[in-house]
Amino acid sequence: MYSRVRMFFIFVTDNNSILTKNTMCFTEPGPVAPCPDKVFVCHPVRLTSPALPFQGGVDVQQDGNVVCVRYKGESVRINQSYFSKLFQLYRLSSTDDPGSEKFLPRVWCLLRRYQVMFGTAQYEGSGLQGALPVNVFQALHRIFGVTSECFASPLNCYFKQYCSAFPDTDGYFGSRG
């Protein structure tokens, strides 16, 4: 009988300890000291795969907060804030194109690939693109020192380093494979 009571006490104590630590992780300010800066070098996958052929004739037109990227009579629409995000990611990750001459063709390939995957009808493929709220990513970075995502895309990534489904097109925008 004594061993059952002792095991129950240990279980309750451990359970309370885990619950307390879990609750503390999501309170402000974080109870755990931030992780020291760690640098893990992770090279983009594009360094190991052949470059996409250069495609001329891609143009862009802005209408309010919507950017329309066109190529050979086809177009893909994207919100201006996402287009700006793609440009920032491209400038950070694409070392082979310092003048950004290949930016529009590479954006076209990326957007067209995701459009084909998600579909063009309303709500078609909407369940395929999920992300955590920004405050969760901030807590992961602050408490645990997380600096990379395992499942993301250039459109929904929080960190500048992430892994994505299409490394051949996403590598120019920071994907690590």
Which two three-digit tokens encode residue 56?
């001329």
Q: Three-class SS of residue 173?
A: helix
* Position 102 pLDDT exceeds 50: yes
* Position 40 pLDDT exceeds 50: yes
Residues 6+ apart with CB under 8 A from 77: 66, 67, 68, 69
pLDDT in tens, 155-174: 888 888 888 888 888 888 98
Distances (CA, A) of 121 to 63, 117, 135, 172: 21, 12, 31, 28
Which residue carries 């793609």 as its tokens?
A: 86
> Where does the pLDDT of residue 81 fall: very low under 50, low under 70, confident under 90, or very high at 90 and above?
very high
> Where does the pLDDT of residue 84 fall: very low under 50, low under 70, confident under 90, or very high at 90 and above?
very high
pLDDT in tens, 5-31: 666 666 667 656 666 766 665 555 544
